[in-house]
Amino acid sequence: MKELMLGNKAFARGLYEAGCCFVSSYPGTPSTEITEEAVKFDDIYCEWAPNEKVAMEAAFGASLAGRRVFCGMKHVGLNVAADPLYTMAYTGVNGGVIIGVADDPGMHSSQNEQDSRHHAIAAKVPMLEPSDSAESLEFVKIAYELSEEYDTPVIIKMCTRVAHSQSVVETSERVVPEKKAYEKNIPKYVMMPGNAIRRHPFVEERTRKLAAWAESAKINRVEKGGKELGIITSSTSYQYVKEVFGDSVSVLKLGMVNPLPVQLIKDFAASVDRLVVVEELDPIIENHCKALGLKVEGKDLLPLEGEFSQNLIRKALGKDVPAGKAVKDQIPMRPPVMCAGCPHRGLFYTLSKNKCTVLGDIGCYTLGAVAPLSSIDMTLCMGASLSAIHGYNIAGEGENEKKTVAVIGDSTFMHSGMTGLANIAYNQSNSTVIILDNSITGMTGHQQNPTTGYNIKGNPAGKIDLEALCRAMGFNRVRVVDPYDLKQCDEAVKEELAADEPSVIISRRPCALLKYVKHNAPLKVNTDKCIGCKSCMRIGCPAISIKAGKAHVDNTLCVGCGVCSQLCPVGAFE
Amino acid sequence: METKNVMIVGVGGQGSLLASKLLGKLLLDAGYDVKVSEVHGMSQRGGSVVTYVRYGDKVYSPVIDKGEADVIVSFELLEAARWMEYLKPGGQIVTNIQQIDPMPVITGAMSYPEELVKKMTDEGVKVDALDCLKLAEEAGSSKAVNIVLMGRLSHYFDMPRDAWMKAMEAMVPAKFLDMNRKAFELGEKA
pLDDT in tens, A75-103: 999 999 999 999 999 999 999 999 999 99
B102 vs A334: CB contact, 8 Å cut-off? Answer: yes
The answer to whether the Cβ–Cβ distance between A337 and B47 falls below 8 Å is: yes
Contact indicator for A440, A447 with CB cutoff of 8 Å? yes
CB-based contact B48 A332, cutoff 8 Å: no
The reported pLDDT for the residue numbered B15 is 80
B6: left (phi over 0), alpha (psi -120 to 50) or beta: beta
Question: How would you class A276 by CB atoms within 10 Å of its CB: exposed for 0-12, middle for 13-18, buried for 19 or more?
Answer: buried
Q: What pLDDT, on the 0 to 100 scale, is given for residue B42? A: 58
Residues A9 and A37 sit within 8 Å (Cβ to Cβ): yes
The torsion angle over the Cα atoms of residues A425, A430, A436 and A440, rounded to 10 degrees, is: -10
Contacts of B123 (CB under 8 A, 6+ apart): A325, A326, A327, B84
C-alpha Rg value of chain B to the nearest Å: 16
The reply to whether residue B110 touches residue A332, judged by beta carbons under 8 angstroms, is yes
Would you call B40 and A322 a contact, using CB atoms and an 8 Å cutoff?
A: no
Which among A239, A323, A370 has the least Cβ separation from residue B61?
A: A239
Averaged pLDDT of chain A? 97
Handedness of CA A165, A169, A174, A177 (dihedral sign): negative
Task: Report cis status (omega within 30 of 0) of the bond before A372.
Answer: yes
DSSP E strands in A90-164: the ranges are 97-103, 127-128, 154-159
Cβ pair B60, A200 in contact under 8 A: no
Q: Does A537 touch chain B (CB under 8 A)?
A: yes
User: Cβ B24–A4 below 8 Å, yes or no?
Assistant: yes
A391: CB partners within 8 A, 6+ apart: none
Q: Is A560 left (phi over 0), alpha (psi -120 to 50) or beta?
A: left
In this complex, is the C-beta atom of A1 within 8 Å of any C-beta atom belonging to chain B? no
Nearest partner of A100 among A171, A170, A13, judged by Cα: A13
How do beta strands A357-359 and A404-409 pair? parallel
The answer to whether A326 faces chain B, any CB pair under 8 Å, is: yes
Burial class (CB in 10 A: 0-12, 13-18, 19+), A243: buried
DSSP string, A328-364: SSPPPP----PPTT-THHHHHHHHHHTT-EEE--SSG
Q: How far apart are CA A481 and CA A513, in angstroms?
A: 20
Name the β-bridge partners of A480: A506
Pairing of strands A154-159, A97-103: parallel
Among the partner residues A164, A311, A335, nearest to B38 by beta-carbon distance: A164
| Nearest of B24, B106, B96 to residue B62 by alpha carbon | B24
| pLDDT > 90? residue B109 | no
CB contact under 8 A, A335 and B38: no
CB proximity A331 to B under 8 Å: yes
Decide if B3 contacts B68 (C-beta within 8 A): no
The gap between the terminal CA atoms of chain A, to the nearest Å, is 55
A537 interaction partners in chain B (CB closer than 8 Å): 106-108
Beta-carbon count within 10 A of A295 CB? 9
CB B71 within 8 A of CB B158: no
Closest chain A residue to the Cα of B36, Cα to Cα: A166
Tell me what pLDDT residue B181 has: 96
Residue B43 pLDDT level (bands cut at 50, 70, 90): low
In this predicted structure, what is the pLDDT of residue B190?
A: 87
State residue A441 phi and psi, 5-degree precision. Answer: -90, 105
User: Residues of A numbered 100-129 whose beta carbons fall under 8 angstroms of chain B's beta carbons: which are they?
Assistant: 108-109
Taking the Cβ of residue A364 and every Cβ of chain B, the question of whether any pair is shorter than 8 Å is answered with yes
Q: What is the pLDDT of residue B1?
A: 84
Give the residue from A313, A319, A115, A304 showing the smallest Cα distance to B61: A313
Q: Which of B41, B81, B91 lies nearest to residue A444, judging by beta carbons?
A: B41
pLDDT in tens, chain A (574 residues): 789 999 999 999 999 999 999 999 999 999 999 999 999 999 999 999 999 999 999 999 999 999 999 999 999 999 999 999 999 999 999 999 999 999 999 998 899 999 999 999 999 999 999 999 999 999 999 999 999 999 999 999 999 999 999 999 999 999 999 999 999 999 999 999 999 999 999 999 999 999 999 999 999 999 999 999 999 999 999 999 999 999 999 999 999 999 999 999 999 999 999 999 999 999 999 999 999 999 999 999 999 999 999 999 999 999 999 999 999 999 999 988 899 999 999 999 999 999 999 999 999 999 999 989 999 999 999 999 999 999 999 999 999 999 999 999 999 999 999 999 999 999 999 999 999 999 999 989 899 999 999 999 999 999 999 999 999 999 999 999 999 999 999 999 999 999 999 999 999 999 999 999 999 999 999 999 999 999 999 999 999 998 889 999 998 889 999 999 999 999 999 9
Residue A251: how many CB atoms within 10 A of its CB?
23
CATH number at residue B81: 3.40.920.10
Rg (CA), chain A: 26
CA A499 – CA A41 distance, rounded (Å): 51
Q: What are phi and psi of A198, to 5 degrees?
A: -80, -20
Q: Is A540 on the interface with B (CB under 8 A)?
A: yes
CA of A503 vs chain B CAs: smallest distance (Å): 30
Closest C-alpha to A115, from A276, A240, A287? A287
One-letter amino acid at A509 equals: R
With an 8 Å Cβ cutoff, are A243 and B116 in contact?
Answer: no
Q: For residue B44, what pLDDT band results from cuts at 50, 70 and 90?
A: low
What SS3 class is residue B162? helix
Structural domain count, chain B: 1
B39 pLDDT exceeds 80? no
Interface of A with B in 195-254 (CB under 8 A): 236, 239-240, 242-243
Q: Residue B143's closest chain A neighbor by CA?
A: A556
Q: Say how far apart CA A361 and CA A369 lie, in whole Å.
A: 11
A12 and A174 Cβ atoms separated by less than 8 Å: no
Report how far Cα A82 is from the mean position of its chain's Cα atoms.
15
Q: Where are the alpha helices (DSSP H) in A235-283?
A: 235-245, 263-270
- Report yes or no: A545 at the B interface, CB cutoff 8 Å: yes
End-to-end Cα, chain B, rounded Å: 30
- Per-residue pLDDT band at B13 (split at 50, 70, 90): confident
Contacts of A309 in chain B (CB under 8 A): 61, 63, 65
Instruction: State the Cα–Cα distance between residues A382 and A411, nearest whole angstrom.
Output: 10
DSSP string, A24-88: EE---TTTHHHHHHHTTSTTSEEEE-SSHHHHHHHHHHHHHTT--EEEEEEHHHHHHTHHHHHHH
CA of A433: how far to CAs of A211, A367, A429, A439, in Å? Answer: 50, 18, 11, 17
Cβ contact A4–B25 (<8 Å) = yes
pLDDT score at B38: 86
Range(s) of the domain holding residue B73: 4-189
Interfacial A residues in 135-164 facing B (CB < 8 Å): 161-162, 164
- Mean pLDDT, chain B, whole residue set: 93
Query: B60 to chain A: which residues are within 8 Å by CB?
Result: 239-240, 242-243
Q: Which residues of A touch B102 (CB under 8 A)?
A: 332-335
Q: Determine whether B84 is exposed, middle or buried from the number of CB atoms within 10 Å of its CB (0-12, 13-18, 19+).
A: buried
The residues near A186 (Cβ < 8 Å, ≥ 6 apart) are A195
> What is the distance in angstroms between the Cα of A94 and the nearest Cα belonging to chain B?
35
Task: Determine the distance in angstroms separating the CA of B178 from the nearest CA of chain A, rounded to an integer.
Answer: 23
Are A34 and A8 a contacting pair, CB within 8 Å? yes
Q: Rounded distance, CA A437 to CA A339, Å?
A: 16
Cβ neighbour number for residue B171 with a 10 Å cutoff: 17
